[in-house]
Each structure stands twice: as structure tokens, then as C-alpha cells.
């Protein structure tokens, strides 16, 4: 069985377990909630049903994301998982808002409740089961890099926390006859709302694509630099087409003495090693040629480097090359996103270099800070 099929099987199996557990819990809690006239317990039952729905959506998303690539979608359907993760996150948010509204209503219009020993048993059992289920689902989600499972697991654990508040208010009422369930429900529903918002942000980030994860970026660049001819690795860009599916590009600096055949061998080795070690497909390896023959040009490069890094906010300079035929100096610079006027700083640096080296045509590219 392929890794892809194993992952899909784990996600579906875990989701089915979640569906069954939540339906059973929802049934028991709804029964007890109606008997005791407890809005907190009934809301808890509704949350369990929303968890079951989340798991169903996760299964659908996983199956759709597993479709084979086709002409219209050559990189596959993996990003569908991020869409389903967003839907699950919205369900978490909705459940939190619903619980908040119902709790607020109970504060305004309080009602008598009627707790019993069976109520305590059901609530305690629910807390234990939901806690274990949340930890289990979240762990499985992290194991197979499934945002949908992680979101579902988070939701389950939040429900367990909510149930703890229900248990506490039940015990307080049974001992002191003080009804606090609505007030505690407001506080905990606010916590669930925050969790839903955080999960939505994460799902949206995955769909928009964010900066390459720092540890992965550094590992890939370190792998690239194992080639003795490669003197620098820059501009790593990874496009995410689903969990654990990256396609990307990178630029390497190599001496200008190498032949095209030698460069081809280097790039092929790099692609193979990065794929084998990190599962990342580098479909493009760009080349920056480094001047190694002319000491005068090397001295100019060092001087320009000093000019560039004399300005606060400059993170990197790379790709320096002097083209003798065109009498052109080319280089790329990266300016931190925190600099308010990046374009203004870039123009200032360009003018400073061009003014000092009037006899040359200076070509500078403002590059993007895409990876560490």
C-alpha cells in the first residue's frame, strides 16, 4: 500500500471512530439534558453532533483530495483538505457562538434545573471519552499531517473542557443550590470561539500559502550546499499542493568556470537528493554565475556588498555577476518586510551604486524574502 493510501486510510478510520463516539455521546447527553432541563447539557449534546458532522466532512475532503491528477488539475486535488479544514473550523466557531447565545439567554431568563446522580455519571463519562478522543484524533492528525483531523481533535478537546464546566456547575448546584451554568457557559463558549477563529486563520494561511517553514527551508538549503561547487543557495520557493506535497524552485551560486554539462549534473543530483531526503520536488534550479577569474571584479563585488549592507533593513545580497561583454553589473538584494518604504530604500541603494560605478550599467533586482 502506498504512503498516500495509508494516510487516507488512517484519516478515514480515525474520522469514523469520531463519528460513532460523538453520536453515542450526543444521544446520552440529549436524553439527560431534556430530563434535567439543562441548557448546558443540551448544548453539549449539540456540540457532539457538530463533531460528528466535522468528521463526515473530513472523510469527504480526504476522499476528494486523494483523486489522481488530471489535465485540468495537473498537481492533484490535495488543497481540498485545506477547504474542508476551513469548514470544520467554521463549525467549531458556530458551536462556540451558539453556546454563547444560549448561555446568555439563560442569564437573562434563568430556569430551574433538576440534576441527579445519572446526570453526573453521564457528564463525567463524556469528559473522559471526549478528552481521550480529542487527544487521539489530534495525534493522528499530526502523524499524517491532516489539518482537518487536527481541527476535529481540537474541537473534541474543547468540548471536554466545556463539559468540565458543566460538571462543576452541576456539583455546585447540587451542594449549594446556586445555578452558575449560564455564566460558566459564557466564559467557555468565548474560549471555543477563539479556538474556532485560530483554526480558521490556520486554514486560510494554508490556502494562501505562507512563508516556507524555517526548519524545512534550512534543511533543504543545507542539502543543496553539500555539492562542493555550490557556493550559495537562495530564493527557495515551495508551493504547497496539499499535505506533504511540495513543488518548488531554488537559485544556486556556482563558479563561472563550469560547463553546461557540469551544471546539469549538479542540478540533477540536487533534485534527486532533496526529493529522496525531504519529499520535495525542485522542478526548477536557477543558476547564478560567480566571477572567479578577475580580481578587480571580485574587489568591486566586495565594495558593493559593503554599500548594500551599510543600510539598515537589508537582509541579503546574492547573484552578483559582471558581464564583460555588456559591461553590466547584476545583483539581487532582499529588504526586510518591516522596512516601511522598501521601494524607496531600494532606489536609494541603486542610485548610490550606479553613481559610484558610472562606467558600468547596474542592474539590481529587489528580491522577495521567501525563506530562511
pLDDT at 339 over 80: yes
Q: What pLDDT, on a 0 to 100 scale, did the predictor assign at position 332? A: 96
pLDDT in tens, 15-29: 899 899 989 988 888
- Angle in degrees, CA 320, 325, 328, rounded to 5: 40
- H-run or E-run covering 319: strand 314-323
Contact 77, 202 (CB under 8 A): no
- Which of the four CATH numbers 3.30.70.1350, 3.40.50.300, 1.10.3720.10, 3.40.50.720 does domain 214-367 have? 3.30.70.1350
Confidence at residue 44, expressed as pLDDT on a 0 to 100 scale: 73
Phi, psi for residue 54 in degrees, rounded to 5: -60, -40
Q: What percent of the chain has a predicted confidence (pLDDT) above 90?
A: 39
**Where, residue-wise, is CATH 3.30.70.1350 in the chain?**
214-367
Fold of domain 3-208:
Alpha-lytic protease prodomain-like (1.20.1510)
Which grid cell sits at 49?
Answer: 453532533
Largest CA distance in the chain: 92
Higher pLDDT, 13 or 62: 13
Residues carrying CATH 1.20.1510.10, the chain: 3-208
Q: Over the stretch 167-202, which tens digit does the pLDDT of each residue have? A: 888 888 888 888 887 787 787 778 778 878 888 888
Mean pLDDT over each residue of the chain, to the nearest integer: 87
15: cell is 474520522
4 pLDDT higher than 90: no
Residues above pLDDT 70, as percent of the chain: 98
CA distances, 242 to each of 148, 203, 284, 291 (Å): 12, 12, 19, 40
The answer to whether the CB of 253 falls within 8 A of the CB of 219 is no
The C-alpha atoms of residue 306 and residue 195 are separated, in whole angstroms, by 47
Q: What's CA 319's distance to the chain center, in Å?
A: 30
Dump the DSSP string for 234-251.
Answer: EEEEEEESSTT-EEEEEE
Position 243 confidence tier, pLDDT thresholds 50, 70, 90:
low
Mean pLDDT of the region 69-88? 84
For residues 46 and 68, what is the distance between their CA atoms, to the nearest angstrom?
Answer: 36
Shortest CA distance to 220 belongs to which of 267, 145, 270, 285? 270
Amino acid at each position: 500500500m502506498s504512503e498516500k493510501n495509508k494516510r487516507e486510510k488512517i484519516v478515514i478510520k480515525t474520522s469514523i471512530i469520531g463519528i460513532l463516539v460523538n453520536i453515542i455521546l450526543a444521544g446520552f447527553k440529549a436524553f439527560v439534558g431534556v430530563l434535567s432541563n439543562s441548557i448546558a447539557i443540551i448544548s453539549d449534546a449539540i456540540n457532539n453532533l457538530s463533531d460528528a458532522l466535522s468528521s463526515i466532512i473530513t472523510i469527504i475532503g480526504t476522499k476528494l483530495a486523494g483523486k489522481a491528477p488530471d489535465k485540468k488539475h495537473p498537481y492533484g486535488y490535495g488543497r481540498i483538505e485545506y477547504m474542508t479544514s476551513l469548514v470544520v473550523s467554521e463549525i467549531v466557531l458556530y458551536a462556540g457562538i451558539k453556546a454563547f447565545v444560549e448561555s446568555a439567554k439563560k442569564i437573562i431568563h434563568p430556569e430551574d434545573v433538576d440534576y441527579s446522580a445519572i446526570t453526573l455519571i453521564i457528564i463525567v463519562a463524556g469528559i473522559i471519552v471526549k478528552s481521550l478522543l480529542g487527544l487521539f484524533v489530534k495525534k493522528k492528525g499530526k502523524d499524517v499531517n491532516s489539518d482537518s483531523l487536527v481541527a476535529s481533535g481540537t474541537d473534541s478537546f474543547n468540548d471536554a473542557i466545556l463539559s468540565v464546566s458543566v460538571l462543576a456547575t452541576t456539583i455546585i448546584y447540587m451542594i449549594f443550590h446556586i445555578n452558575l451554568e449560564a455564566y460558566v457557559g459564557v466564559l467557555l463558549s468565548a474560549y471555543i470561539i477563539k479556538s474556532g477563529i485560530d483554526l480558521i486563520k490556520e486554514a486560510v494561511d494554508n490556502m494562501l500559502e505562507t512563508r516556507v517553514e524555517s526548519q524545512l527551508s534550512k534543511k533543504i538549503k543545507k542539502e543543496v550546499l553539500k555539492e562542493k561547487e555550490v557556493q550559495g543557495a537562495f530564493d527557495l520557493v515551495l508551493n504547497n499542493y496539499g499535505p506533504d506535497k511540495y513543488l518548488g524552485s531554488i537559485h544556486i551560486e556556482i563558479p563561472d568556470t563550469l560547463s553546461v554539462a557540469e551544471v546539469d549534473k549538479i542540478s540533477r543530483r540536487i533534485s534527486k537528493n532533496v526529493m529522496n531526503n525531504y519529499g520535495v520536488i525542485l522542478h526548477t534550479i536557477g543558476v547564478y554565475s560567480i566571477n572567479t577569474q578577475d580580481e578587480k571584479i571580485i574587489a568591486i563585488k566586495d565594495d558593493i556588498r559593503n554599500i548594500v549592507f551599510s543600510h539598515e533593513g537589508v537582509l541579503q545580497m546574492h547573484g552578483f555577476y559582471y558581464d564583460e561583454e555588456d559591461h553590466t553589473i547584476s545583483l539581487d538584494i532582499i529588504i526586510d518586510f518591516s522596512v516601511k518604504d522598501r521601494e524607496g530604500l531600494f532606489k536609494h541603494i541603486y542610485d548610490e551604486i550606479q553613481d559610484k560605478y558610472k562606467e558600468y550599467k547596474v542592474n539590481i533586482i529587489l528580491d522577495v524574502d521567501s525563506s530562511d
